[in-house]
């Protein structure tokens, strides 16, 4: 057999290596799972789908040259930044539907219910926001002090352990047990709004220096009357370290929670310079002392 015929025979039998390079598949790479997206924040009172584009952080950019301070994932501060807002130009209304007077102190209205009764006032707004956040984390962590000093836990409340007020005494009283639903939380909060206030809130929270404000802190002056506003967000200039805050309040009578407008420095919009001239931190409807910034325990 000729050499050429022998080669053809070998090739046909698959015994002769082709001149073409063999394509060897690469070794299999281990599959790297895609990162799990962070769960969307919960705002359980909403009756319509949550829209992050209508949230606090999307509406209010930090002052020029500033950056928002870092907050932990899942923290109260992060939750506050995601608060849903009503459309631009929304008026602030009282609990009975009447317009608040004046309409010049708010930069936005928070999309949260007030309720039909004159309950969710100033300290109550701070309590409501804190309770709503805790409800998304662990309902058993929710508790607030009455003005009398009694500590009332939501977990005990839904388990049937209530209280009654007799004169100036607060006495244990049974109540129907119920599931820890959001509707139950609102019933609990209406009772807290009735028997807690700025005085109990100022005692319950711990003081922090004004210059160290963080989202979630509360400016509170205890008394009758007193007032409270919640620090929704904090921004800082990286070079000068000047700090600015966004603030939210309700007021008297009970009204829509709203983001305050800086009427003294309109160029800052809703941001307030974090400083106290002559020991006073001024907001549109209340002056706080520089020592009246408090933090949840």
Question: Exposed, middle or buried: residue 135 (CB in 10 Å: 0-12, 13-18, 19+)?
Answer: buried
Domain boundaries, the chain: 52-295
Task: Look at residue 29 in the predicted model and tell me its pLDDT.
Answer: 59
Residue bearing tokens 């003005």:
147
- List pLDDT tens digits, range 7-59: 334 344 444 444 455 555 566 656 666 655 667 789 999 999 999 999 999 99
Q: Evaluate whether 107 touches 260 at the Cβ level (below 8 Å).
A: yes
Task: Look at residue 163 in the predicted model and tell me its pLDDT.
Answer: 97
Residue bearing tokens 């956040």:
133
From the first residue on, what is the mean pLDDT of each consecutive set of 10 residues in the chain (297 residues)? 43 45 58 64 95 97 98 98 99 99 98 98 99 98 97 98 94 97 98 98 97 98 96 98 98 99 98 94 98 97
Residue bearing tokens 């979630």:
216
Q: Evaluate whether 274 touches 244 at the Cβ level (below 8 Å).
A: yes
Q: How many Å separate Cα 200 from the centre of its chain?
A: 22
How far apart (Å, rounded) are the C-alpha atoms in residues 114 and 44?
Answer: 14
Question: Exposed, middle or buried: residue 33 (CB in 10 Å: 0-12, 13-18, 19+)?
Answer: exposed
């Amino acid at each position: 057999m000729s050499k050429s015929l022998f080669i053809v025979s070998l090739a046909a039998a698959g015994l002769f290596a082709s001149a073409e390079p063999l394509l060897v598949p690469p070794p299999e790479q281990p599959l790297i799972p895609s990162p799990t997206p962070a769960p969307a924040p919960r705002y359980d009172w909403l009756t319509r789908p949550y829209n992050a584009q209508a949230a606090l952080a999307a509406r209010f950019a930090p002052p020029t040259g500033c950056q928002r301070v870092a907050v932990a994932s899942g923290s109260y501060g992060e939750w506050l930044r995601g608060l849903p807002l009503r459309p631009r130009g929304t008026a602030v209304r009282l609990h009975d539907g009447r317009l608040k007077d004046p309409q010049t102190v708010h930069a936005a209205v928070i999309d949260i219910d007030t309720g039909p009764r004159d309950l969710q006032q100033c300290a109550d707004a701070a309590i409501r926001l804190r309770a709503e956040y805790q409800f998304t984390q662990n309902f058993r962590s929710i508790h607030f002090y009455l003005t009398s000093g009694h500590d009332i836990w939501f977990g005990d409340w839904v388990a049937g352990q209530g209280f009654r007020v007799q004169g100036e005494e607060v006495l244990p009283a049974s109540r129907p047990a119920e599931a820890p639903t959001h509707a139950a939380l609102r019933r609990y909060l209406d009772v807290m709004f009735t028997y807690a206030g700025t005085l109990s809130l100022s005692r319950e929270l711990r003081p922090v220096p004004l210059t160290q404000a963080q989202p979630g802190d509360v400016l509170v002056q205890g008394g009758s009357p007193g007032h409270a506003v919640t620090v929704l967000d904090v921004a800082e200039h990286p070079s000068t370290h000047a700090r600015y805050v966004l603030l939210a309040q309700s007021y008297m009578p009970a009204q829509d929670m709203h983001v305050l407008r800086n009427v003294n420095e309109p160029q800052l919009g809703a941001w307030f310079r974090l400083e106290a001239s002559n020991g006073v931190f001024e907001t549109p409807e209340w002056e706080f002392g520089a020592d009246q910034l408090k933090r949840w325990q």
